[in-house]
Chains A and B, each alone.
Chain A
């Protein structure tokens, strides 16, 4: 196997991964490994904005942002980490502007900000303009700027290398093994510090906003290395996925004044969140939409409702929501300046992921023991910034703040971490896994299993959940995992074999969906995005805690750890 040695290896080149690279590349031999060219990372699809209490357009405070995020998380977010998030948001966004992000500007020349769901002034009063925007292409603007800075600093990239094995022995991370997609060759990349910034997993549901590359690979590799995942049962369904594709329509559309309507033309949010209406947090809005749809009030009785932007006027839409306008025309044949858009809830974001502390060190257990030399940031990490539900524009923020912080953390830790050996068994395991997949000549197709997986998740593990539905899902998932051993692989080539890649990605997905379902089955309450209709309410006495899930030979083992509560005691969550 070809070997490389670096001090720092970052897996994933989205906003989190690239910010880490910008921090470490000046101080240490850094390499970024990405299975796609960096600017193709899904961060580029983020639209609405990134939060920081700059107060450019009206009074704002990081303390209000703190309260909003904690309440938005349904009190499951770790407040010590959230405080860092909202305080460091301000210097981080300013640093991004200094790097060159082309933010939209106010008449005074400051960064323009827009309202967003769940973000209010004065501890929950009126909507506040907190989301720093570049039209509705903020993710694209930020990611490209970061990549440009990486080019400026000569950061080393291994592009189109697919990391498929994580080397952890005796609680020390030693590196990763990756396939060079162009040639099919395996590479061992040794490192003193590995940062996983591998992104989200929402593509396991039928209707989702995610790109096809978001297959949650990092989550599976962590499970396979014997480490736990945290809070996997909390998955966000974004209220406004375009119908029928699920393509994202930014929450910023509602921030600018867009209204949700059912078949009767009613602004139905009045029934569910009379005070905040369309700007209630996403879990509440998605449940509202799904309820309307389930009660037959979807448009023409179908599984969709209207997002009406027509009253905003063409000028506002073309200046602040140009991409939304383009997407409506190209993917639904609708000009949103003239007609309402049809939208539906779409699987979007993973609140859970690789457990990490606020220095982004990965944690091995319920006592928060750090794994030496292993870090995680961005959507794949669970720090936990978002608890049971994430507020809009807090994800790109979390990626930036903790990608940056993770980089600083690595630079601080490096002098105390040396290179450690990689035993042969890892190399053999990686080679064996690829050969097993390549030689597959069974009766199952990748597409068939994938569609079945999506159906199972969409039926049993969706917005509204029941014990029966989750039990069925768990059983089906175990069936699918067995059937995976019987895959048919047509493409036996070595070079640019995307069929083998899709098979490996499917294997990763079949790993991490199990803790989603098992965690959801065990958690008997309604909190944030996890809604057990057989339990009807939040249960702080039994369930104000984080789920940890390990994959063992006998299935998923669960354990729990406490939530950090520093400033805001849990209250009833109403909007």
Chain B
């Protein structure tokens, strides 16, 4: 059963404007959108550019907008899209480098802004790991699994409207550290995110929750941070 892939193309060396090209593919059983893209590049159009690596949803390279929804191409089974026409575009609102490749610098910059690393002042025990109870460790579930794919931030209308908004991924990463009982500078991080371009730009639209291919819930993490800011404790 043939499926038409309508793919966003833009090569700044050749094209004045972005345009779309259509490719016919006969997907084999179990094929993902990434399988189809690789097949198109291998057999129909070697100029198609896209990022990919692990093929199983852990590296975060292949975030794209597929039939209007942000997904990982490698995890999107063609059959589940239930459509003979599949439109593939680069993640919204990041500058396009070429075809489906976006410039992720704005995304990585925001991640770096929230100080994404454990901050400690007390020396750890010399011969042993720091202890952390399983209950405390569970607080990191739902945040540490983030693969930095960009699907959430790119789907967020607040991010589209406010170029300084930290965005769901960076804020969920801030949650990961604020709520890690081993971290010792909750105050510093809460000060960074307690900003009109930080936590308060989240208007609980929930596009990020829909978009996350790892089923994470940035809106929840942001709400926990807001509560932390208001109470000045977590």
What is the total number of residues of chain B having a CB less than 8 Å from a CB of chain A? 57
Are the CB atoms of B104 and A37 closer together than 8 Å?
A: yes
| B92 interfacial contact with A, CB 8 Å | no
- Whether B180 contacts A211 by the Cβ 8 Å rule is no
Whether the pair A102, B56 counts as a contact (CB closer than 8 A) is no
Contact B129 A42 (CB under 8 A): no
**Chain B contacts of A110 at CB under 8 A?**
129, 131
- Report the bound CA distance from A80 to B129 in whole Å: 27
Within 8 A of B (CB), among A244-269: 244-245, 247-248
Chain B residue at minimum C-beta to C-beta distance from A108? B131
Instruction: Kindly report which residue of chain B lies nearest to residue A41, judged by CB atoms.
Output: B59
CB closest residue in chain B, given A132: B129
Q: Do A102 and B41 touch (CB < 8 A)?
A: no
Which B23-71 residues have a C-beta within 8 angstroms of A? 30, 41-43, 45-47, 49-61
Residues of chain B within 8 A of A164, CB atoms compared? none
Give the docked Cα–Cα distance between A182 and B99 (Å): 12
In-complex Cβ contact of B124 among A98, A137, A141 (8 A): A98
Q: Once the chains bind, are B131 and A182 in contact (CB under 8 Å)? A: no
**B77-133 with Cβ < 8 A to chain A:** 77, 97-99, 101, 104, 108, 112, 115-118, 120, 124, 127-133
- Are A495 and B11 interface neighbours, CB within 8 A? yes
Query: By the criterion CB–CB under 8 Å, are B13 and A495 in contact?
Result: yes
Q: Contact: B134 with A495, CB < 8 Å?
A: no
From residue B21, how far is it (CB to closest CB) to chain A in Å? 14
A140 at the interface (CB under 8 A from B): yes
Known: A137-B145, A493-B47. A105 touches B42 (CB 8 A): no
Q: Which residue of A lies closest to B133 (CB)?
A: A109
Known interface pairs A103-B129, A490-B46, A496-B97; A40-B60 also in contact (CB < 8 Å): yes
Question: In the bound complex, what is the Cα–Cα distance between A248 and B136 (angstroms)?
Answer: 29
Chain B residues 9 to 24 lying within 8 A of chain A, measured CB to CB, are 11-14
A40-B59 contact, Cβ under 8 Å, with A98-B129, A105-B133, A109-B133: yes
Q: In the docked arrangement, what's the CA distance between A335 and B96, Å?
A: 38
Q: How many residues of A contact B (CB 8 A)?
A: 61
Q: Write out the residue numbers on chain A whose beta carbons fall within 8 Å of the beta carbon of B77.
A: 330
Give the chain A neighbours of B41 by CB distance below 8 A.
Answer: 498-499
Measured in the bound complex, the distance between the Cα atoms of B162 and A92 in whole Å is: 43
Complex-state Cα separation, A142 to B53, whole angstroms: 19
Nearest A residue to B144 via CB reads A102
Are B137's CB and A102's CB within 8 A? yes
Q: Is the CB of A42 within 8 A of B54?
A: yes
Q: Is the CB of A498 within 8 A of B129?
A: no
Known: A105-B137, A151-B112. Contact between A330 and B57, CB under 8 A?
yes
A495-B12 contact in complex given A40-B59, A45-B56, A111-B129, C-beta closer than 8 Å: yes
Interchain CA distance A499-B133 in the complex, whole Å: 49
B182 within 8 A of A: yes
List A residues 455-510 near B (Cβ within 8 Å): 489-491, 493-499
B210 interface hit (Cβ, 8 Å): no
Residues of A within 8 A of B112 (CB): 151
Q: In the complex, A327 Cα to B104 Cα: how many Å? A: 26
Residue of A nearest to B57 (CB): A330
Segment 220-275 of A: residues with Cβ below 8 Å from B: 244-245, 247-248
| Contact A44–B130 (Cβ < 8 Å) | no
B47: contacting residue among A39, A148, A490, CB under 8 A: A490
Whether A109 lies near B132 (C-beta < 8 A) is: yes
Q: How far is the CA of A54 from the CA of B129 in the complex (A)?
A: 10
Determine the distance from Cα of A94 to Cα of B56 in the docked complex, in whole angstroms: 30
**Given contact pairs A37-B104, A102-B180, A149-B117, A42 touches B132 in the complex (Cβ within 8 A):** no
Given A211-B53, A244-B30, A247-B55, verify A40-B131 contact (CB < 8 Å): no
Nearest residue in A to B118 (C-beta to C-beta)?
A100
Q: Which A residues are in CB contact (< 8 Å) with B115?
A: 152
B223 neighbours in A (Cβ, 8 Å) = none
Q: Is the CB of B61 within 8 A of A40?
A: yes
Within 8 Å CB of B53, what residues of A?
36, 40, 42, 211-213
B134 (CB) vs chain A CBs: closest residue: A105
Check B148 for interface membership: any CB of A closer than 8 A: yes
Complex formed: what's the CA distance from A433 to B126 in Å?
51
Query: Which residue in chain B gives the minimum CB-CB distance to A448?
Result: B42
Distance from A542 Cβ to chain B, minimum over Cβ atoms (Å): 40
Q: Which of B56, B98, B147, B183 contacts A247 (CB 8 A)?
A: B56
Whether A211 contacts B98 by the Cβ 8 Å rule is no
Q: How distant is the Cα of A97 from the Cα of B117 in the complex, in angstroms?
A: 12
Query: Are A212 and B117 also in contact (CB < 8 A) when A98-B129, A151-B112, A493-B13 are?
Result: no
Contacts of B140 in A (CB 8 A): 102
Give the complex CA separation of A107 and B124 in angstroms. 20
| Cross-chain contact A330 with B75 (CB below 8 angstroms) | yes
What is the CA–CA distance of A345 and B81 in the complex, to the nearest angstrom? Answer: 31
User: CA of A489 to CA of B45 in the docked complex: distance in angstroms?
Assistant: 10
Give Cα distance in the complex from A149 to B132, angstroms: 20
Verify if A70 is at the interface (C-beta below 8 Å from B).
no
Given A39-B148, A140-B145, are A491 and B47 also a contact pair (CB < 8 Å)? yes
Interface string of A25-43 (1 = CB under 8 A from B): 0000000000011011110
Q: Are B118 and A99 in contact (CB under 8 A)?
A: yes
Does chain B have a CB within 8 A of A447?
A: yes
Q: A40-B60, A102-B137 are in contact. Are A245 and B55 (CB under 8 A)?
A: yes
> Are A44 and B58 interface neighbours, CB within 8 A?
yes
**What residues of chain B lie closer than 8 Å to A369, measured between beta carbons?**
none
State A56–B130 Cα separation when bound (angstroms). Answer: 13
CB contacts (< 8 Å) of A372 on chain B: these are none
Give a binary string over A350-365; 1 marks a CB under 8 Å from any B CB, 0 the rest.
0000000000000000
What are 16 of the A-B contact pairs (CB < 8 Å)?
A36-B61, A39-B60, A45-B58, A102-B140, A105-B137, A109-B133, A134-B144, A149-B117, A212-B55, A327-B56, A330-B75, A446-B42, A491-B46, A496-B97, A498-B50, A499-B41
Q: Which 8 A-B pairs have the closest CB atoms?
A: A100-B118, A109-B131, A447-B42, A490-B46, A97-B129, A152-B117, A148-B117, A491-B47
